[in-house]
Amino acid sequence: MGYGPVIEALMALCGVSLLAATKVVAEIGDLQRFATAPQLMAYLGLVPSEYSSGGSARRGITKTGNGHVRRVLVEAAWTYRFAARKTAVLQRRAERTPEVIQDIAWSAQKRLCQRYRQLQEKGRLKVQVCTAVARELVGFIWAIGHALPAVLAAN
């Protein structure tokens, strides 16, 4: 299986354009090589970190992974600040993908929009909210990467 179907499937996600999907696939390669979504998150440097000493504690993300993809995904996460909806552009992109991928993309949009609102209501900074949403977006990218080969093999 080439990378074309994977790129097209990732474009069904809100905030993931052709350029973003291409960059993700080009930098990561085969999504099947990651057994779990947390492994992919760690590869991209989107896992929580903490530095504690005495009474102080600093929390953040590790940033040890692929910075190019991390930046693209954080930019994509900004689109989830709006309410979940199927725009005409997103609908056209999704129609080119199998039903399973469309379901994953719609679940992602509902979940990530809700997550964005929850974190913002807690008073988190917008950059922190987008980073957290980007981390969860990676989980949906992993799910698409693992669902697509089975769907294509069945057809």
Per-residue model confidence as pLDDT tens digits over 32-86: 999 999 999 999 988 877 677 777 776 667 777 788 999 999 999 999 999 999 9
Half-sphere exposure of 155 (CA within 13 A, CB side): 10
pLDDT at 53: 79
pLDDT at 64: 78
pLDDT at 61: 72
User: Which phi and psi angles does 5 have, rounded to 5°?
Assistant: -65, -35
Q: Give the total number of structural domains in the chain.
A: 1
Residue 82 lies in a domain: yes
- The CB density around residue 140, as the number of other CB atoms within 10 Å, is 20
pLDDT at 66: 84
Q: Which two tokens stand for residue 133?
A: 């949403």
pLDDT at 15: 94
Question: Residue 29 sits in which domain range?
Answer: 4-34+66-154
**From CA 139, how far away is CA 153, in angstroms rounded?**
22
Q: Which two tokens stand for residue 18?
A: 């052709």
Residue 52 lies in a domain: no
Sequence-distant (≥ 6) Cβ neighbours of residue 35 within 8 angstroms: none
pLDDT at 52: 74
Residue 59 lies in a domain: no
pLDDT at 83: 92
Residue 114 lies in a domain: yes
Average pLDDT over residues 109-123: 97
Q: Which residue has the tokens 């990530």?
A: 112
pLDDT at 1: 63
Helix axes 99-121, 88-95, angle to 10 degrees: 140
Residue 112 lies in a domain: yes
Contact 13, 89 (CB under 8 A): no
Per-residue pLDDT band for 96 (boundaries 50, 70, 90) equals very high
- Reported residue count of the chain is 155
- The DSSP 8-state label assigned to residue 49 in this structure reads E
User: Which region holds residue 151: left if phi is over 0, alpha if psi is between -120 and 50, else beta?
Assistant: alpha
Percent over 90 (pLDDT), the chain: 79
